[in-house]
A and B are shown apart, each in its own frame.
Chain A
Amino acid sequence: AQSVTQLGSHVSVSEGALVLLRCNYSSSVPPYLFWYVQYPNQGLQLLLKYTTGATLVKGINGFEAEFKKSETSFHLTKPSAHMSDAAEYFCAVSGRREYGNKLVFGAGTILRVKS
């Protein structure tokens, strides 16, 4: 079984400040981990993913995340927030294809960027 916990349903940062969105997961199989962003009334856009290899992964729009197996975490960061980063962010976990490959989502974190 797999689950995802996103700490903080709402996060507010000032423009130019560090963005940190927290994600912890549980998985009985080696996890694949994803961050998606959703703007109002739109679908989800893939920001980045971890499957195997390097544990620090870089994504689009300056975001990156680090897979820490010992902490079962996959926190999303961006050094300097931009107004256009305001959106809802979802962390998700899946198993490999042989385990069904279904995505399990966290509850989401709404990021607000203050000018």
Chain B
Amino acid sequence: GAVVSQHPSRVICKSGTSVKIECRSLDFQATTMFWYRQFPKKSLMLMATSNEGSKATYEQGVEKDKFLINHASLTLSTLTVTSAHPEDSSFYICSARDDGERDTQYFGPGTRLTVL
């Protein structure tokens, strides 16, 4: 149980384009999901908290107009990187907090974004 999927696992795009990443909880409902960014050889940096049916809460320094988050259902949150630039290249990981087990986040496998 407690499986979280992400799609795509890897994406390469041109500078200026937008990229959408999906995060799904496969066997549980998640009112709350989280989006992280991980730089090489670094720990995870929380970007935003995504709540089903309401606006996401962004961490300080994260541009909400650049990283659009939508949490339209209890099992799906999406992160759209708008007008991507090479500095947005990174490993993006989502997590979902099980509504039936409110204290634990389960993580997706991550998405490697490369912006050329």
Contacts and interface: CB of A to CB of B under 8 A. Distances in A.
Interface string B21-61: 00000000000101000000011101001000000000000
Contacts of A32: 103
Interface residues of A, number: 22
Interface stretch (A19-27, A62-70, A75-83, A89-97): A89-97
Interface string B86-116: 0000010101010000111111111010000
A53 interface: no
Given A90-B44, A97-B103, A103-B34, 19 more contacts: A32-B103, A43-B107, A43-B109, A43-B110, A44-B44, A46-B106, A49-B104, A51-B103, A90-B43, A96-B103, A97-B102, A101-B32, A101-B97, A101-B103, A102-B46, A102-B49, A103-B105, A105-B43, A107-B43
19 contacts: A32-B103, A34-B104, A41-B110, A42-B110, A43-B4, A43-B109, A45-B107, A49-B103, A49-B104, A51-B103, A94-B103, A97-B102, A101-B32, A101-B97, A103-B46, A103-B105, A105-B44, A107-B42, A108-B43
Nearest to B2: A46
Interface of B is mostly: strand
Interface residues of B, number: 24
Given A90-B43, A102-B49, A44 B93 contact: yes
Interface of A: 32, 34, 36, 41-46, 49, 51, 90, 94, 96-97, 101-103, 105-108
A105 B38 CA distance: 12
A42 B109 contact: yes
Nearest to A44: B107
B6 interface: yes
